[in-house]
């Protein structure tokens, strides 16, 4: 129940007493003290944390050095430069050497409930060493980029840790992306090696990963880049069920199982099965000690120009930051069983499935499937099966599960739960309250964590034992993070108000550059407001100093927690020969948060048929991914433009929402199109 607390304007949810009692940070006074320290003496604060990790060499220069001011030259961020360490060593060897090798690192739960596995820290270390040897043998050296296009299987963990062990840079591409999207990312990073699997079941749907990889590599060859070797995990034959039963609530249900031969496109000079490659690999693989600022991984995120950006994270700062945020945000303790439902193909998976938990020596659940398969209570079953204490998921999943009704949740105990996390998009108070009341039975702390691929880890978040929470607010900055709100002119908004959310100084986990394009890094994040890192999100500060992230203020959509640029979808649609012009905006969607709403003008009066609409959906699925597919397609006899020809998206957003209050339209070249657009709008928003 929400209560009033002296000094706060709104009603709040207090940290549950049993969570606060054991918490690393158990009061706002303690939070304030730690926060102050992290801002006033960052070196002392972070170097104390660094003592928990293994360093082959200590930093040579300043603990943190940076420049956020373009007038003083290049933008850069360095933490612990000159120190030598290794991420894999700190995630695995360190724990094994401390006698914790037999502890379970991951309970793996497959798409089918009958498919399970467990991996201890020492088993993982053995497998990582062997695979590190395979990478060496394939010619991978420190600094080389390795493309990974894999489902949520143990080999994905092994692959990323093996890269980290030998100093190679992993570039993981979410296994829901299309061949075109995979090719773009491999080409940009110039990966010589790719790692994949034969395929994976998601609910009832078979994703043919090897076939998609073959197609992507063909595209790369056509564009002048040859991937030399491909290692393929033979995953499908080891599964219990290959003809899954009917799923509940799965959009892809009732598919008939197609014939699939993953070896159809086999290239014997290039492709090798994972198990064959590791069978004669050496058992030991030495750790490559790397500089603190050595790249650990790159991960592509949408850019507003339509070309994805390879966000680059380095070693030491990212290590300090994900380990610390994991420990405090989930209030991690050694007897916890932690479960983050995100796919490792996204940043949440990198930071809070793999690195954050493993640096803390945690026991986690890794899940291959979907929340709806085989039934809509799969999540709650898994929580009870492993007695999960800390659970982390996305608002989209919460809203979709909420729709299935409370009964599916209530038939499971969920007594083990203590902390419930949310990430990826603004969580509406209704979903927050349902998560708190029904899933958490009113006994758990809910932490709404705001962050980005670029920030590496949580930057705004409540702490479960300390922060009185407000549904829908990401509350306060994490240690070391200094947020500010700016108006359009860059003037800082003090106290209550709304503006651009920016950060004043770097925390250890912030990205270092856009791979291969440092200028793009500077322009995207630092140009709009010199001296600040600009998130691209808007936020409001309330009378109590709480921050409420209101969403993107650039041309970016957040669909089910996945960022997609409007330009990216527009350039896929425009490839269709019948399309003359198109504009994409966000429209409200009751489950996905935001839906993709497309306005399309056809060429030479070509008819707006169902067939054409199907083809347009297919175009986006092929060029980007199924998750980016249009939710709404509307015929547009013309588009509202300024006199200089710029499409007025602000007006289109209003039309999509059937809001006739268009604001100032005095700059519009020809407003006669507006009525027609309202007439043609998609009537029912989902």
Per CB under 6 A, residues contacting ligand PRX are 301, 347-348, 423-426, 448-453, 474, 535-537, 549, 551-552, 558, 563
Beta carbons of 61 and 503 less than 8 angstroms apart = no
**Cα distance between residue 612 and residue 602, in whole Å:** 10
**Which residue, among 520, 516, 488, 519, has the nearest Cα to 502 in the 3D structure?**
488
CB of 300 to ligand PRX, least distance (A): 10
CB of 187 to ligand PRX, least distance (A): 21
CB of 594 to ligand PRX, least distance (A): 10
* Residue 158 β-bridge partners: none
**Cα distance between residue 133 and residue 192, in whole Å:** 17
Residue nearest to ligand PRX (CB): 453
What value, to the nearest 5°, has the Cα angle with vertex 235 and ends 232 and 238?
A: 145
**Which residue, among 385, 435, 441, has the nearest Cα to 410 in the 3D structure?**
441
CB of 547 to ligand PRX, least distance (A): 10
- Give backbone dihedrals phi and psi of 469, rounded to 5 degrees, phi first: -100, 155
Q: Which residue number, 462 or 468, has a Cβ lying nearer to ligand PRX?
A: 462
Q: Which residue number, 558 or 634, has a Cβ lying nearer to ligand PRX?
A: 558
Q: Which residue number, 262 or 468, has a Cβ lying nearer to ligand PRX?
A: 468
Q: Which residue number, 133 or 308, has a Cβ lying nearer to ligand PRX?
A: 308
CB of 561 to ligand PRX, least distance (A): 6
**Which residue, among 208, 207, 205, 206, has the nearest Cα to 250 in the 3D structure?**
205
Q: Which residue number, 123 or 568, has a Cβ lying nearer to ligand PRX?
A: 568
- Please compute Rg for the chain using Cα positions: 25
CB of 534 to ligand PRX, least distance (A): 11
**Cα distance between residue 32 and residue 35, in whole Å:** 5
| Longest Cα–Cα distance in the chain | 74
CB of 480 to ligand PRX, least distance (A): 17
CB of 450 to ligand PRX, least distance (A): 4
* Direct distance between the N- and C-terminal alpha carbons of the chain, in angstroms, rounded to an integer: 31
Q: Which residue number, 30 or 523, has a Cβ lying nearer to ligand PRX?
A: 523
359-385 residues labelled b (16+ CB within 10 A) or e (exposed): bbbbbbbbbbbbbbbbbbbbbbbbbbe
CB of 293 to ligand PRX, least distance (A): 22
Q: Which residue number, 296 or 579, has a Cβ lying nearer to ligand PRX?
A: 296
CB of 529 to ligand PRX, least distance (A): 16
Q: Which residue number, 378 or 458, has a Cβ lying nearer to ligand PRX?
A: 458
Contacts of 238 (CB under 8 A, 6+ apart): none
Q: In what helix (H) or strand (E) does residue 612 lie, and over which residues does it extend?
A: helix 610-623
Q: Which residue number, 453 or 568, has a Cβ lying nearer to ligand PRX?
A: 453
Q: In what helix (H) or strand (E) does residue 635 lie, and over which residues does it extend?
A: strand 632-635
Q: Which residue number, 301 or 602, has a Cβ lying nearer to ligand PRX?
A: 301
Q: Which residue number, 370 or 558, has a Cβ lying nearer to ligand PRX?
A: 558
Contacts of 316 (CB under 8 A, 6+ apart): 50, 79, 80, 83, 85, 292, 293, 508
29-44 residues labelled b (16+ CB within 10 A) or e (exposed): eebeebbeebbeebee
Q: How far is CA 656 from CA 260, 397, 538, 634, 649, in A?
A: 41, 24, 21, 9, 10
Q: Cα 80 to the chain's mean position, in Å?
A: 26
What value, to the nearest 5°, has the Cα angle with vertex 250 and ends 249 and 251?
A: 110
CB of 40 to ligand PRX, least distance (A): 27
* Residue 497 β-bridge partners: 541
CB of 484 to ligand PRX, least distance (A): 16
DSSP 8-state symbol, 351? I
Between β-strands 513-514 and 497-503, what pairing exists: parallel, antiparallel or unpaired? unpaired
- Give backbone dihedrals phi and psi of 376, rounded to 5 degrees, phi first: -75, 5
**Cα distance between residue 550 and residue 472, in whole Å:** 10
CB of 460 to ligand PRX, least distance (A): 7
CB of 551 to ligand PRX, least distance (A): 6
**Which residue, among 366, 391, 384, 382, has the nearest Cα to 119 in the 3D structure?**
366
Q: Which residue number, 364 or 452, has a Cβ lying nearer to ligand PRX?
A: 452
Q: Which residue number, 160 or 168, has a Cβ lying nearer to ligand PRX?
A: 160
Beta carbons of 84 and 292 less than 8 angstroms apart = yes
Q: Which residue number, 381 or 482, has a Cβ lying nearer to ligand PRX?
A: 482
* Helix extents (H) in 225-333: 274-279, 316-329
């Amino acid at each position: 129940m929400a209560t009033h607390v002296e000094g706060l304007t709104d009603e709040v949810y207090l940290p549950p007493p049993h969570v606060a009692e054991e918490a690393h940070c158990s009061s706002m006074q303690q939070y304030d003290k730690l926060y102050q320290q992290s801002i006033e003496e960052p070196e002392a604060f972070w170097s104390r944390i660094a003592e928990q990790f293994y360093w082959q060499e200590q930093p040579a220069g300043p603990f943190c050095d940076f420049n956020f001011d373009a007038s003083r030259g290049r933008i850069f961020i360095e933490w612990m430069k000159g120190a030598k360490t290794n991420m894999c060593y700190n995630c695995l060897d360190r724990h094994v050497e401390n006698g914790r090798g037999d502890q379970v690192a991951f309970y793996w739960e497959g798409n089918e409930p009958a498919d399970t596995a467990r991996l201890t820290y020492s088993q993982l270390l053995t497998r990582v060493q062997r695979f590190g040897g395979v990478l060496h043998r394939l010619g991978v050296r420190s600094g080389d980029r390795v493309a990974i296009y894999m489902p949520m299987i143990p080999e994905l963990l092994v692959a990323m840790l093996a890269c980290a062990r030998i100093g190679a840079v992993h570039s993981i591409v979410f296994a829901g992306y299309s061949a075109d999207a995979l090719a773009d990312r491999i080409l940009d990073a110039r990966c010589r090696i790719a790692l994949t699997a034969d395929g994976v079941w998601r609910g009832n749907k078979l994703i043919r990963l090897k076939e998609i990889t073959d197609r992507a590599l063909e595209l790369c060859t056509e564009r002048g880049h040859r991937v030399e070797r491909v290692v393929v995990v033979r995953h499908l034959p080891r599964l219990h069920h290959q003809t899954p039963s009917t799923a509940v609530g799965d959009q892809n249900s009732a598919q008939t199982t197609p014939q699939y031969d993953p070896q159809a496109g086999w290239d014997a000079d290039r492709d090798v099965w994972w198990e064959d490659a590791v069978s004669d690999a050496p058992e030991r693989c030495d750790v490559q000690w790397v500089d603190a600022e050595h790249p650990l991984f790159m991960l592509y995120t949408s850019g507003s120009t339509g070309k994805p950006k390879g966000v680059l994270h380095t070693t030491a700062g990212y290590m300090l930051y994900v380990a610390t945020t994991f420990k405090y945000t989930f209030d991690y303790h050694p007897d916890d069983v932690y479960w983050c439902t995100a796919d490792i193909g996204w940043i949440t998976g990198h930071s809070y499935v793999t690195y954050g938990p493993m640096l803390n020596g945690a026991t986690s659940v890794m899940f291959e499937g979907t929340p709806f398969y085989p039934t809509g209570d799969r999540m709650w079953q898994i929580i009870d099966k492993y007695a999960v204490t800390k659970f982390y998921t996305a608002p989209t999943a919460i809203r979709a599960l909420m729709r299935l009704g409370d009964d599916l949740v209530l038939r499971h105990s969920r007594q083990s739960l203590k902390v419930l996390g949310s990430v990826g998009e603004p969580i509406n108070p209704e979903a927050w309250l349902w998560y708190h009341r029904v899933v958490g039975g009113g006994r758990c702390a809910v932490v709404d964590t705001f962050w980005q691929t670029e920030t590496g880890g949580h930057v705004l978040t409540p702490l479960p034992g300390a922060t009185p929470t407000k549904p829908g607010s990401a509350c306060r900055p994490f240690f070391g993070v200094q947020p500010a709100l700016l108006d359009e002119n860059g003037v800082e908004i003090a106290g209550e108000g709304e503006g651009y959310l920016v950060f004043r100084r770097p925390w250890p986990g912030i990205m270092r550059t856009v791979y291969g394009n440092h200028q793009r890094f500077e322009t995207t994040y630092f140009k709009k407001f010199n001296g600040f890192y600009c998130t691209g999100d808007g936020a409001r500060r309330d009378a109590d100093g709480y921050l409420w992230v209101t969403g993107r203020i650039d041309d970016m959509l957040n669909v089910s927690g996945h960022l997609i640029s409007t330009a990216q979808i527009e350039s896929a649609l425009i490839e269709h020969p019948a399309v003359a012009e198109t504009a994409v905006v966000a429209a409200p969607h009751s489950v996905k948060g935001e839906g993709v709403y497309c306005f399309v003008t056809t060429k030479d009066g070509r008819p707006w048929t169902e067939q054409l609409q199907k083809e347009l959906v297919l175009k986006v699925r092929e060029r980007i991914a199924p998750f980016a597919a249009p939710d709404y397609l509307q015929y547009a006899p013309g588009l509202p433009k300024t006199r200089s020809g710029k499409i007025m998206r602000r007006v289109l957003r209003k039309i999509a929402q059937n809001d006739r209050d268009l604001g100032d339209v005095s700059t519009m070249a020809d407003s006669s199109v507006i009525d027609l657009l309202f007439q043609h709008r998609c009537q029912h928003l989902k």
